[in-house]
Structure 1
Amino acid sequence: MTEKHTHQSHPGIVNRLKRANGHLRSIINMIEDGRPCVEIAQQLHAVEKAVMQAKKTLIYDHLDHCLDDAVDNPEANSEQTIEEFKAISRYL
């Protein structure tokens, strides 16, 4: 089992994603109600931006904390730290 991994930014990210989830449900209703495609596209763009910002916040927070901790602890497995950095940077 993996150890629980949380950062100070996680509650804010969760709130942002919950709002995006609610917004997405509203967009589904817009489609079902036959609203104009331009309005739907605009709202989809807003949800996409919210999710992208949540992802960026998560990744930057990880880089700031987890990798800083690895640099501060030279005894830590530097090879694992490098691999972790490579893995998470793919999502930027």
Structure 2
Amino acid sequence: MSKQHVHGSHPDIVKRLKRAEGHLQRVIAMFAEGRPCLDLAQQLHAVEKAISEAKKTLIHDHVDNCLDDAATGGPGKSARNVLAEFKAISRYL
């Protein structure tokens, strides 16, 4: 079983994602209402931006906390492991 992994930023990220989820549900309703494509595209862009910002916050928090701690002598990770993990997570930026 996996160890629980929680950062101080996670509650804020969850709030952002829940707002994006609500926004997405409203956009889906806009489709059902037959709203103009420009309105739909603008609202979908807003949802996409909200999710992207949540992802960026998560990745930056991981780099600032997990990788920084490991790189400065934290337990259990070699410099090679830290670098590999940084390369892996940076692909999602």
Segments of structure 1 that go 5 or more residues without pairing to the other structure are none
> In the TM superposition, what whole-angstrom CA distance separates every residue of 1:40-83 from its partner, at most 9, and x where no partner exists?
11100100100000000000000000011112216632222111
Instruction: Report runs of 4+ in structure 1 exceeding 4 Å deviation.
Output: none
Structure 1's 25 and 8: CA in aligned 2 closer, same or farther, altered over 3 A? same
Give matches, 1:70-81, under 5 Å.
Answer: 70-73=70-73, 76-81=77-82
Q: Which moved more, 1:65-74 or 1:82-91?
A: 65-74
> Matched residues, percent identical?
60
The answer on 1:83 being equivalent to 2:88 is: no
Say what the alpha-carbon RMSD is for the aligned residues: 1.2
| 1:30 matched residue in structure 2 | 30
Q: If the length of structure 2 is used for normalisation, what is the TM-score? A: 0.93
Aligned to 2:63: 63
CA contact (8 A) 2:70 2:82 kept: yes
Give the SS at the match of 1:6.
coil
Q: What is the alpha-carbon distance in structure 1 between the residues aligned to residue 32 and residue 90 of structure 2?
A: 38
Q: Residues 41 and 57 of structure 1: is their aligned pair in 2 closer, same or farther, counting only changes over 3 Å?
A: same
Please list the CA deviations of residues 4-59 of structure 1 after superposition, one character each: whole Å capped at 9, or x if unmatched: 11100000000000000010000000001101111111100100100000000000
